[in-house]
Structure 1
Amino acid sequence: MIHFELIAPVGEILRRNARLYPEKLAFEDKSRAVSYEQLNVETENLASQLVTLGLQKGQKVAILLPNTVNWVVACLATVRAGGVAVPVSIDSTDAELSYRVTDADCAFVFAQSARRQSIEALLQNLGRSTVLITDGFERNLADFTTLTQTRASDFDDDSDIDRPAYIVYTSGTTGQPKGVSLSTRSMLWVTAACWAPIAGLSHKDVVLNTLPLYHSYALNVAVLSIIATAASEYIMEKFSTSHATELLRTGRFTFMPGVPTVFHYFLSACQTSGEKLLSSVRLCVSAGAILPGSLNTDFEEFFDVPLLDGYGITETSTMVTMNWPGKWRVPGSCGLPLPGLTVRLVDPKTGADVPFGTEGELICKGPNLMQAYHNKPQETQKAIVEGWYHTGDLARSDANGFLTITGRLKELIIRGGQNIAPAEVEETILLHHAIIDCAVIGVPHAMLGEVPVACIVLKSAVNFDEEALIRHCRDRLSVYKVPDRFLIVSEIPRTGSGKILRVKLRESLPAA
C-alpha cells in the first residue's frame, strides 16, 4: 500500500529520473521548461555553487520567488546542498520578510532582481550579511542563471533525509506565524502513503498546478511528489480562471490539485459558459480548507470528473486524511486517515476519546509529523503531547471512520452559550444561487457575547434579494446560527492554502 521506494534523498531521485527519463518534461512555466536531465544538472550546479559561496550544512535559505521553474530549482538545489529551504510568499511585505529571515536566521535569499534594492536595504537595516541571489544578471551580485550553468568541483549531494530540510511558516491566522521544521522523509512519506497509492500520481501524469509553491500543500504535491513519481507539471504563476481555461483547452492535463475556492470559481465560470473543459483530466484533488459537500457534488456532476477532498496541515507535512476514488465516499467528508497514520478525536477539556458522531479535537501521530516549531520549544511542547499532535481542528467521525472537519476550536462563535461553527453556516450560505463566496465571523454583542456576521461575495449585485437569503438560512439552520448581518464584500481574504483570514476580515468590518 505505501510506496516506500519513493522515499529517498532529493539528489538520488533526480539522478534516477535523469537516467530513466532524460528528455521527459519535468516542470514548465510561461517562460521556460526543463527536462529531467536539465533539472538534475541545474540543481546540482546550483547546489555546488551555494556551497562555494559559503552555504554550510543546516543553514537556511529563503526562497522569495514567484511560481516558476526557478522556484523549484532553487528549492531542490538548497536541499541537495545540505541547506534548509524556507519558502516565503512573493507577496510578502518587508515586515513579513524581515520576520522570516530573522526568525529562521537565513544565510541566503533567492529573490527577483526587481526587488534587489529594497531587499538589500532591508538586510542592511537588519544588520545581516545574508547572500542575495537574484533571477537576473547584475554585476557583483550572484546571478541565478549563471550559477545553474556553472559546475563546481568536489560536490557531494546531501543524503540525510531525516534532518530538517524545510521550514514552512504557518499562515498566522491565529497569531504570529510559526516555522514548521520538516524533513524530506516526512514529506515524501505523504507522497508514498497518499498521492501515489490513493490519487494514483505517476510518471504518466501531467499536472496543472494552481497552488502557490511557498505553501506546504504545494511543496508536497506540486514539487516533491512530482519528482518522486517522475510526473510532469505546468506551474501557473497565479491562478486565474481564464488562464486555467486556456491551458485546459489543450487537453494535456490529467491531474489538477487545488483549494476549494479554485474549484468553486472554475465551476461557476464553466457553468456560465457551458464548457466542460476537463475531458483529459482523470482526477482533481482539494485540500487546504474545508470543501463544502455541495460543491463537491455539483463539480462532479457537471464535469464527470472525481474531486477528492482531503484534510492536511503544515505540521503533518500536509495530508492527514484523504478520500479514495470510487463510490464509497461521504459527501462533505475529508475521507479516511492515511495508511500508517493514527487519528483520534478527543474532548478538548478531558482528553478522552469521543463517541462516533460526537465533535472532538482531531489529534494524530505518524511518520509525517513535524520535528518542531523552529526556535519555539514551548509552542512545540504544547502542540505535541506524548507523541500526539493536537491540531486545534474539530471533527466528527462516522461508524466507518470517515472524518468531517467542522471548524476550529479558536474560531467557534459562542452566541448566548450556544456554539456555532462558521463552516456550517458558510456551507449553507454557499448553497444559495446568488453567492459565490462567503465567510462567517463572530463579532461582539452586548447581550449575547458574540453573534455571527456573514461577509458575502455576490455572483451579481443586480436584483440581489437579502430577505430571500435570510429565509434560505432560516430554512436550513437553527435560529441562533442565522447570521445577524450580511455584508457584501468584493472578496474574501484568504491564505495561499485557501483558509479564511478571519482576523483581517474582522478588522475591515464597518461599525454596526
Structure 2
Amino acid sequence: MGMTFKRPWLAHYPKSIPGRINIEEKALHMYLQEAAEDEPEKVALEFMGTEMTYEEVYHQSLALCERLQSLGIEQGDRVAIMLPNCPQAVISYYGTLMAGAVVVQTNPLYVERELENQIVDSGAKLIICLDMVYPRVMNIFGHTNLEHVIVTKVEEYLPFPKSMIYPLMKKRNHQMLVNTYHTDHTHSLNTLIKNGHPTQVNSVSVDPKRDLALLQYTGGTTRSAKGCMLTHRNLVSNTAQALTWMYKIDHGNEVILCALPFFHVYGMTVGMNFSIMDRSKMVIVPRFEREQVLKTIQKQKVSIFPGTPTMYIGIINDPHVHKYDLSSVNVSISGSAPLPFDVQMRFEQLTGGKLVEGYGLTEASPVSHFNLVWGYRPKGSIGLPWPNTDVKVISQETGEMVGPGEIGEIAICGPQIMRGYWRRREETRASFQEEWLLTGDMGYMDEEGFFYIVDRKKDMIIAGGFNIYPREIEEVLFKHDDVQEVAVVGVPDLYRGETVKAFVVLKEGATVNERELDIYCRKYLAAYKVPKMYEFREELPKTTVGKVLKRELTNEKKPIVSREISND
C-alpha cells in the first residue's frame, strides 16, 4: 500500500471513549436473559399504555422459543418476522435467537411479489406476521419453503379499553381481520406463548463469531437485493460501540423512543438492542405520527430519540410543537439520510439536548461513523469512526489508499462488518478488498480524521429513511405494455430528503397517464417505492454504448414539466 495507515480521529476521542473496547463473546439474546435474572421487575418496554418487565419479556421469549422448537425450528433455520413495532416484535426476535435460528426482518409494507422474493431467497421455514398481512402471506405460501405461519394482533398487547377499541378502528378502516385459523400450519402467537414450556427449551450452543443472528436485506427485493449475513458478534459489537459512544448517558435509566422500525437494522440496533443491552426502557410506537410522538415524549419523559431527518423535520414544523414539553430529550441520533444543519440547530433549540448525525450501512450492522455527542462537530461531516473500527479512502483509479482531502471510495474494517451476502459468493468477493468492506459511497477524510460523504457510487435513493433501489422500480415499469424506456432517479425533497421520480418514454401511440401508472405501480411496489413524480420524454440521454445518463437527468436545470401525484 502506498501510504502508512494512521488513525487521526483518535485524537478527538474524549477521555471516556477508548480507541478499542472489549467485545464480549456471547450470544445477543444473553443480554435479555441476564437483565431478567439481575433486575426482573425493571420495566423493559412500554407500548401504548402497556408495560412489560424484563422478566416478562424474557419469559415470553423463552416460551415462544420452546414452541418454535416444537414446530421443527432447528439451529440455523430462518424465521421471518413481518411485524410493525410492538411487544410481539421484540419477543419474536429474541425467541427466535434463543432457538438458535436466524431472524429475517421483513417489511410489513411489502406486497406479495416483494415478500415472495425475500422468503424464497432466505429459505425461511416459518413467518410471524400481523393479522392484517396474513392474506398476503397465504397467497405466496405455496411458492416458498414456509411450513408454518404464526399470526398476532396488535390489540393482544394493548391495555383495556384500548384492546376493545382497536379492532373496531381496524374494521372502520376496512382492513381485513383474521379471527380464527383453521389450517395445520397457521398458529396464534398468543396461544403459542401461553402454551409454551420455558423449562423444556432445548439448549442451543451459539458461536458468536460464526453463527448468524440476522439476515438483513439491503433494500428492494429483486434479484439485486442481498441478504447481509450478520452474526451475533456483529450485532453485539455494534450495540456495545453505541453504548460506549453515549458515555454521558444515565446507563440503565434511560427512556428510549423506538419510532424507527425494528425491521430496519438501524432501529433494531440503536433502538431495541441498545435498550436491552443497557437495561433501559424502550417506549415503542408502531409508526411515526407527529402528534402521537410528541405526546409520548412528554408523557414518558423520553431521554434518547433515535430517528431520521424526516422525523425531526416533521416535529420542528409541527404547528403545535410548542405546546409540548420536550426538555427530557437529551440525545437524538440521526441516520439513514443526510441531516440538514438547519434541522439540527432548530431541533436542539426545541429540546435543549444534542442531535448528532452518524453514518452506516446494513453491511455494518449498521453504524461505522458518528459525530461526537458532546464535542466538536464539523458542519456536514458524518463524524469519526467508532471504536475498533478502521476506515480508509480508496482511489477508484489505483485501488490504493489516498490521503486527507482526496475523494475516493470509503472502505471499513471492524467487528460489526458482515460475514458476507447470503448465498452470493461473487457479490461478497466484489464487496471486499481483503478484510475491508467497500461501501460504494464516495467521500474523503479531512486532516483531523473527520469523514465526509460527497456522492453515492450506487444509485440508491433514500426517501424518508427508506432505502429504495431504482432498478426494482424500473423493472416494474418496464413490464407495462405502454412503456418503452424508463429511468428512475431520486430528486431533492425538503421533507423526505429525496423523492422518487420516473422519466418515461412511451411506445408509439400509447396514451397512459401519470394516474394510471401510479395505480399500476401500487400493485407491485410498497407505497414508499412508488414514484411520486413522472416526466414523459421522447428520449432519454444515453452514453455511446446505450447506458442512460441518470446524472444528466438529475442535474438538468431546464424547466420541469413533470406533475406530482398527490395521493401518498
Aligned to 2:235: 187
For structure 2, list consecutive stretches of 5 or more residues without a partner in the other structure.
Answer: 1-17, 154-179, 462-488, 504-539
Aligned to 2:527: none
- Indicate how the Cα distance of structure 1 residues 174 and 399 shifts in structure 2: closer, same or farther if over 3 A, else same: farther
1:152-167 matched pairs, under 5 angstroms: 153-162=200-209, 163-167=211-215
Corresponding residue to 2:35 among 17, 24, 27 = 17
1:429-468 matched pairs, under 5 angstroms: 430=494, 438-439=498-499, 444-445=540-541
In the alignment, the residues of structure 2 paired with residue 332 and residue 101 of structure 1 have an alpha-carbon distance, to the nearest angstrom, of 39
| Amino acid in structure 2 at the alignment position of 1:148 | I
Q: CA contact under 8 A between 1:394 and 1:409: conserved in structure 2? A: yes
Q: Structure 1, residues 189-215: CA drift from partner, whole Å, max 9, x if none?
A: 011122333365631111111111111
In the alignment, the residues of structure 2 paired with residue 233 and residue 439 of structure 1 have an alpha-carbon distance, to the nearest angstrom, of 31
Q: CA contact under 8 A between 2:411 and 2:439: conserved in structure 1? A: yes
Instruction: Verify: 1:330 aligned to 2:348, yes or no.
Output: no
In the alignment, the residues of structure 2 paired with residue 13 and residue 208 of structure 1 have an alpha-carbon distance, to the nearest angstrom, of 20
How big is the shift at 1:129?
A: 4.8
Q: Structure 1, residues 329-360: CA drift from partner, whole Å, max 9, x if none?
A: 11121100011111011122321223322321
What is the number of residues matched between the two proteins? 451
Instruction: Verify: 1:339 aligned to 2:387, yes or no.
Output: yes
Aligned to 2:92: 74
Q: Structure 1, residues 365-420: CA drift from partner, whole Å, max 9, x if none?
A: 1111101100111110000121111110111222111112122013499xxxxxxx
Q: CA contact under 8 A between 2:328 and 2:351: conserved in structure 1? A: no
Q: Structure 1, residues 412-463: CA drift from partner, whole Å, max 9, x if none?
A: 99xxxxxxxx99x94xx85xxxx78555979644799556667xxxxxxxxx
How big is the shift at 1:255?
A: 0.3
Q: CA contact under 8 A between 2:21 and 2:388: conserved in structure 1? A: no
How big is the shift at 1:188?
A: 1.3
For structure 1, list consecutive stretches of 5 or more residues without a partner in the other structure.
Answer: 414-421, 455-479, 494-512
How big is the shift at 1:135?
A: 1.3
How big is the shift at 1:55?
A: 0.6
How big is the shift at 1:89?
A: 0.3
Task: Using the TM superposition, name which of 352-361 and 14-23 deviates more.
Answer: 352-361
Corresponding residue to 1:148 among 181, 186, 193 = 193
Q: CA contact under 8 A between 1:188 and 1:220: conserved in structure 2? A: no
How big is the shift at 1:296?
A: 1.9
- Indicate how the Cα distance of structure 1 residues 31 and 109 shifts in structure 2: closer, same or farther if over 3 A, else same: farther
Q: CA contact under 8 A between 2:394 and 2:409: conserved in structure 1? A: yes
Aligned to 2:151: 134
- Indicate how the Cα distance of structure 1 residues 487 and 356 shifts in structure 2: closer, same or farther if over 3 A, else same: farther
Aligned to 1:418: none
Secondary structure, counterpart of 2:79 in structure 1: strand
Aligned to 1:304: 352
In the alignment, the residues of structure 2 paired with residue 204 and residue 164 of structure 1 have an alpha-carbon distance, to the nearest angstrom, of 30
How big is the shift at 1:327?
A: 3.7
Q: Structure 1, residues 60-96: CA drift from partner, whole Å, max 9, x if none?
A: 0000112111011101111110100000001111111
Q: Percent identity?
A: 25
How big is the shift at 1:159?
A: 3.4
| Amino acid in structure 1 at the alignment position of 2:151 | T
Instruction: Verify: 1:318 aligned to 2:361, yes or no.
Output: no
Aligned to 2:467: none
How big is the shift at 1:51?
A: 0.9
Secondary structure, counterpart of 1:269 in structure 2: coil
In the alignment, the residues of structure 2 paired with residue 406 and residue 439 of structure 1 have an alpha-carbon distance, to the nearest angstrom, of 19
Aligned to 2:307: 258
In the alignment, the residues of structure 1 paired with residue 101 and residue 550 of structure 2 have an alpha-carbon distance, to the nearest angstrom, of 47
In the alignment, the residues of structure 1 paired with residue 351 and residue 146 of structure 2 have an alpha-carbon distance, to the nearest angstrom, of 53
| Amino acid in structure 1 at the alignment position of 2:40 | P
Aligned to 1:27: 45
TM superposition score normalised by structure 2: 0.73
Aligned to 2:275: 226
How big is the shift at 1:6?
A: 6.0
Q: CA contact under 8 A between 1:440 and 1:452: conserved in structure 2? A: no
| Amino acid in structure 2 at the alignment position of 1:371 | R
Instruction: Verify: 1:205 aligned to 2:286, yes or no.
Output: no
Corresponding residue to 2:138 among 106, 114, 120 = 120
Aligned to 2:59: 41
In the alignment, the residues of structure 1 paired with residue 565 and residue 114 of structure 2 have an alpha-carbon distance, to the nearest angstrom, of 25
Secondary structure, counterpart of 2:245 in structure 1: coil
| Amino acid in structure 1 at the alignment position of 2:148 | V
